[in-house]
Amino acid sequence: MSAATHGAGGLHPLLELEASVSLDRAAGSGGALEATVTGPDPHEFLAAALDWHFSPATGSPLWLDLARGLDFDPRRDVRSWADLARFPDIAGALRDRPVEDLLPRGLQGGPVPSVFETGGTTGAPKRLLYTPGWVERVLRWKVAELRAAGFPEGGGWLVAMPSGPHAYGHTARLQARELGSVLFTVDLDPRWVRKAIAAGSDPRGYVGHLVQQVRHVVTSQRVRALTTTPPILAELLLDDEVAQRLAEVEYVALAGAHLDQDTYELLTEALPTAVVQNIYGSTMVLTTARLRDPAAPPADAVYDGYPPFVSFSVVDPQTGEPVAAGERGQVRMAHVSSGVFIPNNLERDSAVRVPGLRPEISDALAQPAPLASFEGEQVVQGVY
Amino acid sequence: MIVVHATRPRQQVVDLPLLTTRGERSTHEVEVVTGPDGALLARLSLAPPLLVAQTLRQQERAVRPGPVRDPDRFARAAELFADDVLGGLSPAEHVHLVGEASGHGPAVTRRLTEAVVRQVAEAPARVDRGRPHGAVPDARAGSAAPERASGVWVRRGRTLGAVLSGNSPAAHNGWLQALALGYAVTVRPSRREPFTASRLVHALRAAGFGPDEVTYLPTSQAVAAEVLRRADLGLTYGGADVAAAYAGDPSVLVGGPGRSKTLVREGYRSPAVVTAVADAVADSSGSACVNTTGLLVEDPGTGATASFAAALRHELAQRHDTALAAGDHLGPRVTAETARAWAAGVERLGGPPRALEPHPDGGYVVAPVVLEVEPGSDALGTELPFPFVALAPWTEGEGVAPLRDSLVVTAYTAPDDPLLDALLDEPSVRNVHHAVPTTHSDGFVPHEDYLGRFLMSSKAFVTAGGQQ
């Protein structure tokens, strides 16, 4: 971190507050979240974050530009997490602005961030900056969560998920190292699949290509944990030999495509010894959500954010107003940290609103499912 | 014979589970089946894509080579379908639910349900009609004779997926014939009327068919394509869009639209023909692909078209009233929304605006429409799922041109009329009836060719017999 100055030469309050979310307090199951839940005073944190992102000395060129077009003063008028909805959705800017414009000036000269991109489900991919500090923070959370879920530490782990421009392949490698597991990988290009489907051609050829590679790993290596997408796993289970090998796997994470309860039940029947986790997240908030109960089936799973950094709300798509608890609405996410400010990102999903652990900051989500269409572009779900 | 007892129909909502290779299964994802009054009739479990794939994989493994010889199981299944309590529903309860879900009146529902009984019982005999002269069903029969050479009729695949439509409860010929040939079948019923297919699969299983041989997997619209994709061969039904989607796929047979037509020549406009044409327009509530949609009346400018239209209108209106007086109905009984949409469709074709007719049993009955149009009008090929016919004058000089693109063409004419030969010769006319309504079929004649032509192929089998 650079020594961004504030007042008399100390750290900016945001950096101090971030540092105060001590990860060492993570103790066993769910500890990683406890630390964030018992973190700084939300109003103090929000005020510090707005000061950071909208001060000429520390804000990013992107936000300082965008601020000129706002009809309110973020540092004065935004008082609560609900007020973040007043900001525009900046997804468009993340598609074509040079990444230099995304980096807050307060972090210039510090360690170089990584650039990762969204899958391009709703048009051109969006770019996000992952600072080393953020990557480290998420790594601690996720490793603690994997341990709590019964991940077979030290066992072979096969991850057939997007890598390249996508964060998933990168974070999985870091997690495997922490968990002492050998990582086997199969590359997955979600953009190509979607292009194929949108053009009306059959994605089966590509899925077959992926399955063939996974098959080679599974039949020749001792794989005890698997992360992939529901459609790929479904295809794998139709292959007798692969299904037999997978029946011994102890941990399965499914991500990248909607998993319904009925399919989940079929999968757990085929994978009797495995904990099967349905992962939900978004590159737009730079992490996946936290499963409140690590082994909950999709029908019961509750997904929490990481307040104050990552927060969720569930809104009426027409009015933008929050829906009542227990009602389904469109998922809105926010990310607030020193590296990134995404105040108001509407997701391509709907979910049922559940009270969050820090209700003044974030709702929790249940039963997330794809919205039929988004931003006027048809959402194409592929193998990811 | 379906005997409907005077029991009160059940009031509780029926649960229709999947009938998988591993027994019954209920899912979280359900579709509700409702009646014309919006009443909840059933909760239909829906299979996810993975279950479809697993099921067809399992079925593929279970198919044994060689011909099938067990018409007895079909006869038994037909009896059970007609008479037994299956899936917790008596025949009377079943017929009631089918009527409410499909919109057909009691008489039509009973008649179509009886047709299903025959479809089951006769499936082995019906399908054999499509076997080529030169091919035997069993390569081994009589192969002890020396140097015997023959064609053998063999399956083109092992599994068949049938994606059914909801316009008729009696659209099961295709998959039942596949089953008779030894295919393992997955039935994806119409979500509008899923009861008949469920009862059929229950009956077949009770008659000795194994769970690997025939399954019942309702799915969402999106997953239906998966049934066709995962099975070796597929049967489906739909309009031009569905036909286009599978045009390049030799493994999927699309039962296309009917656009069936009737021609009445000069000298054949008798009251008996009016009655027969009314049958062709209104049988099965006017919803079938074989219902007459376009009617051509030979009219050298004498006003024959208008007078035939008036007579047909009168006949259909009388049937409509008679049915209502008997507590039945001629056209389908549907929701207000559906009735309005269809009425709007008639108006777009130039028909008069129509009032909604509520029915004492709930919902609205759609009354018959006879629409006079100009020659060449699109309305002659427009299918609406109720007793609807567009009628136009025809002259001999036009020949078969206005009768093209039809599933069935009926001509009321002399037996030696060369027009009958021209119709037989016209590739876009699938079936030709002479003085018999378009709706008539005994199940043994081709519909869109013999199904066996799609399901089977012929191989040579040449053997030295006992000589070694």
Contact between B54 and A299 using a beta-carbon 8 Å cutoff: no
Q: Please check the confidence at residue B145 and state whether its pLDDT lies above 70.
A: no
CA distance A110 to A15: 13
Contacts of residue A263 in chain B, CB cutoff 8 Å?
48-51
Q: Is the CB of B49 inside 8 Å of chain A's CB atoms? A: yes
Indicate the pLDDT class of residue A28, thresholds 50, 70 and 90. Answer: very low
Rounded average pLDDT over B210-220: 97
Average pLDDT of chain A to the nearest whole number: 90
Residue A377, pLDDT > 50, answer no
Summarize the confidence of residues B66-85 as an average pLDDT: 92
- Over range A47-72, report the average pLDDT: 97
CB within 8 A of B157, min separation 6: which ones? Answer: B183, B231, B232, B233, B251
168-227 in chain B: CB under 8 A from chain A: none
Q: Is the pLDDT of residue A381 over 70?
A: no
* Cα of A263 to nearest chain B Cα, Å: 6
User: Residue B84's pLDDT is what?
Assistant: 97
Q: Nearest CA to CA, how far is B312 from chain A (Å)?
A: 47
Cβ distance A347 to A330 under 8 Å? yes
Pairwise CB contact (< 8 Å): B27 & A262: yes
Give, in order, the Cα–Cα distances in Å from A225 to each of A16, A263, A303, A379, B121. 38, 19, 22, 30, 52
Q: Which of B28, B47, B53 is facing A261, going by the closest CB pair?
A: B28
User: So what's the pLDDT on residue A371?
Assistant: 85
Closest by CA to B352, choosing from B367, B365, B371, is: B371
> How is B111-136 classified by DSSP, letter by letter?
HHHHHHHHHHHHHHHHHHTTS-TTEE
Please name the residues between 251 and 280 in chain A that touch chain B, using a CB distance below 8 Å: 260-263, 266-267
Q: What is the pLDDT of residues A313-334, one digit of tens each?
A: 999 998 999 999 999 999 999 9
- Using the Cβ of B52 and the Cβ atoms of chain A, whether some distance falls under 8 Å is answered with no
Tell me the nearest-neighbour CA distance from A238 into chain B, angstroms.
6
Q: What is the mean pLDDT of residues A149-164?
A: 96
Cβ neighbours of residue A7 closer than 8 Å, sequence gap 6 or more: none
Rounded-to-integer distance, Cα B337 and Cα A266, Å:
38
Strand extents, DSSP E, A82-216: 114-117, 127-130, 156-161, 183-187
- Rounded to a whole number of angstroms, the distance from the CA of B455 to the nearest CA of chain A is 25
> Inter-chain contact A266–B53, Cβ cutoff 8 Å?
no
The answer to which of A268-272, B58-62, B184-188, B255-259 has the lowest mean pLDDT is B255-259
Q: State residue B146's pLDDT score.
A: 57
Tell whether the model's pLDDT for residue A212 goes beyond 80: yes
Residue B40's contacts (CB-CB under 8 Å, 6 or more residues apart) are B13, B32, B33, B34
Amino acid occupying residue A362:
S
Q: How confident is the model at residue A1 (pLDDT cuts 50, 70, 90)?
A: very low
Q: For B277-294, what is the mean pLDDT?
A: 96
State the average pLDDT over residues A158-183: 96
Of residues B385 and B68, more confidently modeled: B385
Residue in A closest to B61 by C-alpha:
A240
Residue type, A237: L
Residues in B touching A266 (Cβ below 8 Å): 48, 50-51, 54
State yes or no: pLDDT of B382 exceeds 70: yes
Task: Give the other-Cβ count within 10 Å of A1's Cβ.
Answer: 18
Best residue in A232, A252, A266, A383 to probe B by mutation, most B CBs within 10 Å? A266
Tell me: the pLDDT tens digits for A112-122?
A: 999 999 877 66
Q: Give the residue from chain B lying closest to A233, CA to CA.
A: B50
Flag if A238 and B51 touch (Cβ within 8 Å).
Answer: no
Of all residues in chain B, the one with the smallest CA distance to A237 is B54
Distance CA A145, CA A294 (A): 8
More confident residue, A163 or B167: A163
Q: Tokens 């954010």 belong to which residue?
A: A305
Q: How far is A266 from chain B (nearest CA, A)?
A: 7
**pLDDT the model gives residue A122:** 67
* B248 vs A: CB within 8 A: no
DSSP readout, B242-311? HHHHTTT-TTEEEE----EEEEE-TT---HHHHHHHHHHHHGGGG-STTSEEEEEEE-SSSSHHHHHHHH
**Residue A384: its pLDDT value, please?**
44
pLDDT of residue A31: 60
**Mean pLDDT (chain B, rounded):** 93
State which residue of chain A sits closest to B50, comparing Cα positions. Answer: A234
Whether residue A39 is predicted with pLDDT greater than 90 in this model: the reply is no
Residue B188 predicted with pLDDT over 60: yes
The nearest CA of chain B is from the CA of A233 a distance in Å of 10
pLDDT for position B402: 97
Q: What's the Cα-to-Cα distance from A82 to each of A336, A342, A368, rounded to whole Å?
A: 13, 13, 21
Q: Which residue, chain included where needed, has tokens 């794989």?
A: A223
> Are A262 and B51 a contacting pair at CB < 8 A?
yes
- Percentage of chain A modeled with pLDDT above 70: 91
- B27 with B18: CB under 8 angstroms? yes
Q: Is A383's pLDDT higher than 70?
A: no
Q: Between A and B, how many residue pairs show a Cβ–Cβ distance under 8 A?
A: 31
CA B19 to chain centroid:
22
Say whether B47 and A261 touch across the interface (CB within 8 A): no
Q: What are phi and psi of B24, to 5 degrees?
A: -75, 145
Rounded average pLDDT over B24-50: 96
